[in-house]
């Protein structure tokens, strides 16, 4: 197993465009988390899934953000009508209940 | 006031020094306490986790939790240049059952 995989590693987009990121968790992990990290700050929780069910969403996740985890495997995070304030590192993590998080290397989004 | 406070540094020490990293928190519901290491352009990597108050040692790393003071520490003995990274404290109400609240991270540089 190669760990948590995130694609793309870096995305540059124009303001107003939609972007989608993908996360492939460790295969046997049932929980999947999305965090956002801006420069000089710690990661901030966005949302998490247990299997295919989205169990919690942060207030940071505005209506322009949507996350899915079809069939409880990979997950996608979509941002519609991107704004410059969306520029950040988007981190995905997965876990098997009780075993602790493993983070991916993140997708760095730059909105110009 | 943030739930978790962490001095951002940077902290610069010579190789072989003992490093002390600290966080304070305000939410008495936190039960699990973690330290992550993050290299530039990488995702956080779990170093240590502890439950409730007490000490935990793993090689050159020792984590301490004092719930009465709402204060946690990470000590690194015999620091190495390869320890140069950002160290993030994180905490939650339950291991892997809830979102993590992170500190801002402390940037550590160990020079030869």
Which is it for strands B106-111 and B11-14: parallel, antiparallel or unpaired? Answer: parallel
Cβ-based neighbours of B80, under 8 Å, separated by 6 or more: B15, B110
- Residues of B within 8 A of A4 (CB-CB) are 43
Query: How does pLDDT run along chain B (112 residues), one tens digit per residue?
Result: 789 999 888 999 999 999 999 999 999 889 889 999 999 989 999 999 888 888 999 999 999 999 999 999 999 999 999 999 999 999 988 655 568 999 999 999 999 9
CA A75 → CA A27, A111, B7, distances in Å?
12, 22, 34
- At B8 the pLDDT is 85
Q: Range with the lowest mean pLDDT among A6-15, A20-29, B44-53?
A: B44-53
- Decide if B88 contacts B35 (C-beta within 8 A): yes
Cβ pair B104:A99 closer than 8 A: no
Q: Is A36 on the interface with B (CB under 8 A)?
A: no
Cβ pair B104:A106 closer than 8 A: no
CA distance B109 to B111: 6
- Residues of A within 8 A of B34 (CB-CB) are 100
CA distance B18 to B37: 17
- Residues of B within 8 A of A97 (CB-CB) are 96-97
- For residue B102, give how far its alpha carbon lies from the nearest alpha carbon of chain A (Å): 5
The number of residues making up chain B comes to 112
């Amino acid at each position: 197993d190669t760990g948590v995989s995130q694609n793309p590693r870096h995305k540059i987009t124009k303001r107003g465009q939609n972007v989608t990121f993908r996360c492939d968790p460790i295969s046997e992990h049932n929980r999947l988390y999305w965090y956002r990290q801006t420069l000089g700050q710690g990661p901030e929780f966005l949302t998490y899934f247990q299997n295919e069910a989205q169990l919690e969403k942060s207030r940071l996740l505005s209506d322009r953000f949507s996350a899915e985890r079809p069939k409880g495997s990979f997950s996608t995070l979509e941002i519609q009508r991107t704004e410059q304030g969306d520029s950040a590192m988007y981190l995905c993590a997965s876990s098997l209940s009780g075993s602790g998080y493993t983070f991916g290397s993140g997708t760095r989004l730059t909105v110009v | 006031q943030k739930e978790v406070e962490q001095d951002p540094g940077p902290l610069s020490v010579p190789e072989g020094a003992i490093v002390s990293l600290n966080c304070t928190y305000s939410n008495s519901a936190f039960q699990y306490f973690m330290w992550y290491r993050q290299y530039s352009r990488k995702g956080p990597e779990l170093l240590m986790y502890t439950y409730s108050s007490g000490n935990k040692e793993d090689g050159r790393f020792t984590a301490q939790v004092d719930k009465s003071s709402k204060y946690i520490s990470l000590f690194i003995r015999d620091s190495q240049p390869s320890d140069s990274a950002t160290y993030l404290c994180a905490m939650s109400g339950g291991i892997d059952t809830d979102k993590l609240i992170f500190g801002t991270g402390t940037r550590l540089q160990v020079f030869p």
